[in-house]
Amino acid sequence: MDFKIKEQSFIARIAAWKLKERNMAIVLGKTIFLHGVSADDFKNNSTWLKHEQEHIRQFKQYGFLPFIYKYLLESLKNGYHNNKFEVAAREAEQK
Ligand SMILES: [Zn+2]
């Protein structure tokens, strides 16, 4: 799968602070933004990598802005954990 990684990302730092996590990965389009984890450690964590790759696939499936819109709507309705895109990403971790 074609993707880019950006380490020490500001947007991932904000998300980590918001979600009270030490390490964070955020996908926008084909780029994975990291905070608190190096690209090497991230790529060696196959479960985590598969999770974020599922989000890249979702961006591809729905298109950039439509996916952001759908994702935010899901989060408002169901929260972070039960957001259907997060449920699918957690299922992808097991594949
Ligand atoms: Zn996720």
pLDDT at position 73: 97
Domain borders along the chain are: 4-93
Coil, strand or helix at 4: strand
Element (H, E) at 37: none
C-alpha 89 to ligand 1 mean position (Å): 6
Question: From the CA of 14, how far away is ligand 1's center (Å)?
Answer: 15
pTM of the prediction? Answer: 0.93
Q: What span, in angstroms and rounded, lies between the C-alpha atoms of 88 and 62?
A: 14
CA of 88 to the centre of ligand 1 (A): 9
pLDDT in the model for residue 1? 82
pLDDT in the model for residue 45: 97
CA 62 / ligand 1 centre spacing (Å): 16
Could you list the mean pLDDT of each consecutive 10-residue stretch along the chain, which spans 95 residues?
95 94 96 98 97 98 98 95 97 95
Distance 81 CA to ligand 1 centre (A): 9
| Residue 16 confidence (pLDDT) | 96
